[in-house]
Amino acid sequence: MLGRAVAQTIGRNGHTVTVLQRRPSGLDYAEIQGDITDQQVVRSAVKDQQAVIHLAARVSPAGRWRDFADVNIGGTSNLINASQQAGVTRFVYVSSPSVASSGKAHIGESALPADPASTRSYYARSKAEAEQLVLARAGGEMAVTAVRPHLVWGPGDEQLVARVVRRATSGSLRLIGSGAALVDSTYVDNAADALAAALDQAPAIDGQALVISNGEPRPVTELLRGLCDAAGFELPMRCVPTWAAKAGGALVEAVWAAGRLTTDPPMTRFLAEQLSTAHWYDQRLTRELLDWTPTVSIDDGLARLADWYR
Amino acid sequence: MARLPPRDLIGLDPAWSNLVSAIDADGVKRTWHVLDSGRESARGTVLCIHGNPNWSYMWRGLAQSLTDWRVIAVDALNMGFSERTGGPRRLADHISDLAAVTRALDIEGPVITIAHDWGGPISMGWAQQNLDQLAGVVLMNTGVARPLAVKVPPLISIARATLRATCKTTPMFLHGALRMARPQLTREVYRGYAAPYRTAALRTGVRDFVEDIPIEQTHESFETLAGVAAGLDKLQDVPALLMWGAKDIIFSDAFLHDLMQRLPHADVHRYPDAGHQIVEDTDAIDLIDTWINDRVSGARVPISTPNGPRTSAPIWSAVELRRNDDAKAIIEMRSKATERVERSISFGQLDERVQSLARGLLVAGIRPGDRLATLVPPGIDLTVLVYACLRAGIIVVAPDAGLGLDGLRRALRSSRPDYVVGDWRGLLLAKSLRLPATRLRLSSLDELAGSGSTVTTPAEPLPDDPAVVVFTSGSTGPSKGVVYTHRQLEAQRDALHGAFGIEPSDKAVVAFAPFAVLAPALGIPSVVPPMDVTKPAKLTAQTIADAATAIEATIVFASPAVLTNIAATSDDLQGPSRSALQSIRAVATAGAPVSPQLLAAIQPVFPNAHFFTPYGMTELMPVTIASANEIGADASDAGVCVGQPLATVDLTIRPITAPSGTFPDPLAAGMLGEVWVRANHLSQGYDHLWRNQSHAFTNDSSVNHKGQAALSAKPTKSGDIPLAASTIGPTRAASWHRSGDVGHLDEFGRLWIEGRVDHLIHAATGVFAPVETELQAESVSGVDHAVAVGVGPIGNQQLAVVVAGESVGSTVVADALVTAAVRAAVSAEIAAVLVTPTIPVDRRHNSKIDRTRVQKWAETVLRGGKPPRL
Where are the extended beta strands (E) located within B526-639? 526-528, 555-558, 586-589, 610-617, 620-627
Note whether A222 contacts B834, CB cutoff 8 Å. Answer: no
Rounded CA-CA distance B190/B194 in Å is 6
Return the pLDDT at B4.
95
Q: What is the DSSP code (8-state) at residue B459?
A: P
φ/ψ of residue A165, rounded to 5: -65, -45
Return the pLDDT at B639.
75
Q: Which residues contact B731 (CB under 8 A, 6 or more apart)?
A: none
Please name the residues between 16 and 55 in chain A that touch chain B, using a CB distance below 8 Å. Answer: none
Q: What is the DSSP code (8-state) at residue B689?
A: B
CATH architecture of B14-295: 3-Layer(aba) Sandwich (3.40)
The alpha carbon of residue A221 is apart from the nearest alpha carbon of chain B, in Å, by: 7
Q: Which residues contact B129 (CB under 8 A, 6 or more apart)?
A: B95, B99
Can you tell me whether residue B370 is helix, strand or coil? coil
Most confident of A112-126, B2-16, B392-406: B2-16
* CATH for B317-745 (3.40.50.12780, 3.10.20.740, 3.40.50.300, 3.30.70.270): 3.40.50.12780
The 10s digit of each residue's pLDDT in B502-534 is: 999 999 999 887 788 899 999 999 998 887 655
Number of domains present in the structure of chain A: 1
Rounded CA-CA distance B181/B328 in Å is 57
Q: What is the DSSP code (8-state) at residue B444?
A: G
Burial class of B538 by CB neighbour count within 10 A (0 to 12, 13 to 18, 19+):
middle
**DSSP element (H, E) containing B287:** helix B284-295
CA count, 13 A, side-chain hemisphere, A74:
13
Percent of chain B at pLDDT > 90 equals 54
Instruction: Let me know the angle formed at the C-alpha of B134 by B246 and B302, rounded to the nearest 5 degrees.
Output: 90
Instruction: Compare all CA atoms of chain B with the CA of A241 and give the residue at the minimum distance.
Output: B866
One DSSP character per residue, B697-742 reads EEE-SS---GGGGGGTTSPPPTT---SSSSPPPSSPPSEEEEEEEE
Q: Looking at residue A196, which CATH number applies to its domain? A: 3.40.50.720
Note whether B798 contacts A217, CB cutoff 8 Å. Answer: yes
φ/ψ of residue B768, rounded to 5: -145, 160
A contacts of B816 (beta carbons < 8 Å): 225, 229
Instruction: Let me know the angle formed at the C-alpha of B452 by B446 and B458, rounded to the nearest 5 degrees.
Output: 130
Rounded CA-CA distance A30/A24 in Å is 11
Note whether B764 contacts A221, CB cutoff 8 Å. Answer: no
Superfamily the domain B760-863 falls into: ANL, C-terminal domain (3.30.300.30)
Q: Which residues contact B825 (CB under 8 A, 6 or more apart)?
A: B776, B777, B779, B780
Angle between helices B816-825 and B770-778 (to 10 degrees): 120
Q: Which residues contact B26 (CB under 8 A, 6 or more apart)?
A: none
> Least CB-CB distance to A178: which of B796, B798, B867?
B867
Note whether B791 contacts A109, CB cutoff 8 Å. Answer: no
Average pLDDT over chain B reads 86
The alpha carbon of residue A223 is apart from the nearest alpha carbon of chain B, in Å, by: 11
Rounded CA-CA distance B499/B513 in Å is 19
The alpha carbon of residue B865 is apart from the nearest alpha carbon of chain A, in Å, by: 7
Q: What is the DSSP code (8-state) at residue B234?
A: G
Residue among B439, B583, B608, B622 at smallest CA distance from B505 = B583
Model confidence band, residue A73 (pLDDT cutoffs 50, 70, 90) = very high
Angle between helices B404-415 and B424-432 (to 10 degrees): 70
B contacts of A108 (beta carbons < 8 Å): 792-793, 796-798
> Least CB-CB distance to A222: which of B791, B819, B863?
B819
Residue contacts between A and B (CB atoms, under 8 Å): 76
The alpha carbon of residue A264 is apart from the nearest alpha carbon of chain B, in Å, by: 25
Rounded CA-CA distance B285/B60 in Å is 10
> Least CB-CB distance to A180: which of B764, B816, B832?
B832
- Tell which wins on pLDDT, B89 or B297: B89
Say if B14-295 and B317-745 have the same CATH topology: yes
Residue among B755, B823, B751, B766 at smallest CA distance from B789 = B755
Note whether B829 contacts A216, CB cutoff 8 Å. Answer: yes
**DSSP element (H, E) containing B397:** strand B395-397
CB A214 within 8 A of CB A188: no
Instruction: Compare all CA atoms of chain B with the CA of A105 and give the residue at the minimum distance.
Output: B863
Q: What is the CA radius of gyration of chain A?
A: 19
The alpha carbon of residue A152 is apart from the nearest alpha carbon of chain B, in Å, by: 18
Burial class of B374 by CB neighbour count within 10 A (0 to 12, 13 to 18, 19+):
buried
Residue range of the domain that includes A147? 2-309
Spell out a b/e string for B275-296, using b for 16 or more CB atoms within 10 Å of the CB, else e.
bbbbbbbbebbebbbbbbebbb
How do strand B17-23 and strand B29-36 relate by DSSP bridges? Answer: antiparallel
Return the pLDDT at B491.
95
For chain B, which residues lie within 8 Å of any Cβ of chain A, measuring from their own Cβ? Answer: 764, 791-793, 795-798, 811-813, 816, 819, 829, 831-832, 834, 861-864, 866-867
Residue among B846, B850, B851, B849 at smallest CA distance from B560 = B846
Mean pLDDT of B747-760: 88
Note whether A244 contacts B: Cβ–Cβ < 8 A.
no
> Least CB-CB distance to A219: which of B764, B796, B813?
B813
Instruction: Let me know the angle formed at the C-alpha of B373 by B372 and B377, rounded to the nearest 5 degrees.
Output: 130
Mean pLDDT of B676-689: 94
- Computed from CA positions of residues B532, B507, B519, B640, in that sequence, does the dihedral angle turn out positive or negative? positive
Note whether B764 contacts A283, CB cutoff 8 Å. Answer: yes
B704, pLDDT greater than 50: no
How do strand A209-212 and strand A143-149 relate by DSSP bridges? Answer: parallel
- Look at B117-121, B316-320, B552-556, B810-814 and tell me which has the smallest mean pLDDT: B810-814
Note whether A280 contacts B792, CB cutoff 8 Å. Answer: yes
- Please say if A123 is a catalytic residue: yes
Q: What is the DSSP code (8-state) at residue B522?
A: G
B contacts of A229 (beta carbons < 8 Å): 816
Model confidence band, residue B361 (pLDDT cutoffs 50, 70, 90) = very high
Measure Cα distances from B83 to B199, B204, B646 in Å. Answer: 15, 12, 66
Q: How far does chain B reach from its first CA to its final CA, in angstroms?
A: 60
Rounded CA-CA distance A235/A226 in Å is 9
- Tell which wins on pLDDT, B179 or B466: B466
Count other C-beta atoms under 10 Å from residue B115's C-beta. 24
Quick one: chain A helix, strand, coil %, rounded to 5?
Answer: 45, 15, 35
- Computed from CA positions of residues A125, A128, A130, A132, in that sequence, does the dihedral angle turn out positive or negative? negative
Q: Which residues contact A130 (CB under 8 A, 6 or more apart)?
A: A72, A73, A76, A77, A93, A95
Q: Name residue B488's amino acid.
A: Q
φ/ψ of residue A139, rounded to 5: 90, 0
Model confidence band, residue B418 (pLDDT cutoffs 50, 70, 90) = very high
- Tell which wins on pLDDT, B867 or B665: B665
Choose the catalytic residue: A123, A187, A281, A309: A123
The 10s digit of each residue's pLDDT in B810-833 is: 788 998 899 999 999 999 999 999
Rounded CA-CA distance B586/B784 in Å is 29
Instruction: Compare all CA atoms of chain A with the CA of B817 and give the residue at the minimum distance.
Output: A222
Q: Could you tell me the residue ranges of all domains in chain B?
A: 14-295, 317-745, 760-863
Rounded CA-CA distance B498/B718 in Å is 8
How many residues in chain A? 310
The 10s digit of each residue's pLDDT in B122-135 is: 999 999 999 999 99
Mean pLDDT of A44-48: 92
Return the pLDDT at B832.
96
CB B795 within 8 A of CB B804: no
Q: What is the CA radius of gyration of chain B?
A: 30
Note whether A303 contacts B: Cβ–Cβ < 8 A.
no
Rounded CA-CA distance A275/A125 in Å is 19
What is the predicted ipTM?
A: 0.90
Measure Cα distances from B162 to B157, B212, B213 in Å. Answer: 9, 14, 14
Return the pLDDT at B406.
83
Can you tell me whether residue B148 is helix, strand or coil? coil
Model confidence band, residue B718 (pLDDT cutoffs 50, 70, 90) = very low
Can you tell me whether residue A220 is helix, strand or coil? helix
